[in-house]
Amino acid sequence: MEFEIKRQEYVNRTYRIPKELADRLSQVAQQEDISVNELVVQSCEFALDNLKKESR
């Protein structure tokens, strides 16, 4: 098996979220020892992957 380097492409976007949500994200990210960015990415992916079928 060969080692393959995989690159993820990222883009910069600006979103406004409620302060309370930002605080919760920061708290969870700190508890889980991950970046807030990674937590937001994982949370968005999970939400999109688990949308109700009639919402798609």
Residue 14 covered by a domain:
no
Is 1 part of a structural domain of the chain? no
How would you label 7-38 residue by residue, b for 16+ Cβ within 10 Å and e otherwise? Answer: eeeeeeeeeeeeeeeeeebeeebeeeeeeeee
Per the domain annotation, does 37 fall within a domain? yes
- Domain range enclosing 47: 19-51
Residue 53, burial from CB neighbour count under 10 angstroms (0-12, 13-18, 19+): exposed
Query: What is the tens place of the pLDDT at every residue in 1-55?
Result: 899 888 889 999 999 999 999 999 999 999 999 999 999 999 999 999 999 876 5
Residue 56 within any structural domain of the chain: no
pTM, rounded to two decimals: 0.78
Domain count, the chain: 1
